[in-house]
Amino acid sequence: MTETMKIFVFGNPDVKEDSLPVKLMPQLKKEFPNIEFLHLDPNEEWDIPEHFIAIDTVEGIDDIIVINSLDQLQNTSAVTMHDWDVGKNLKWLQKLGKIKKITIIGVPSQLKIVDLISSIRALAS
């Protein structure tokens, strides 16, 4: 039996610039009923699959990007736990050996759903 593909979705539905991935979840679930979409908080503990796939908003981009290495993520300074973001958590989990393979679909804050669906379809095939 094959394991259901899981795609983790990050974003804050209350912050316009960071809410798009979360707002698109109902449409993504309808378009891809065989994929499990899970909204995660960067400060919670996660169940890590062998291939960690996520969708998150990326500042400063105009088109979807696919990130396959955590080295592609820009380091940010952390003064308090409030500053502990998805990138830091992923790098920490990789250092612990919990992340074997990673794919992050980075979306701009303004995006057409059809573009995201195309990216996910390519990833799932």
DSSP run (H or E) holding 28: helix 25-31
Domain extent, residue 97, equals: 5-124
Six token digits for residue 70: 């955590």
**Beta strand residue intervals within 22-74, DSSP E:** 35-39, 51-57, 65-67
Query: Based on the structure, what is the number of domains in the chain?
Result: 1
- What distance in Å separates the CA atoms of residue 117 and residue 9, rounded to the nearest whole number? 14
Q: Are 87 and 73 in contact (CB under 8 A)?
A: yes
Six token digits for residue 89: 């958590």
CATH number at residue 120: 3.40.50.1450
Question: What's the pLDDT tens digit per position in 54-106?
Answer: 898 887 888 888 888 877 765 544 333 333 467 777 777 778 888 888 898 88
In this structure, of 7-11, 22-26, 60-64, the range with the lowest mean pLDDT score is: 60-64
Q: Are 93 and 48 in contact (CB under 8 A)?
A: yes
For 77, other C-beta atoms within 10 Å of its C-beta total: 5
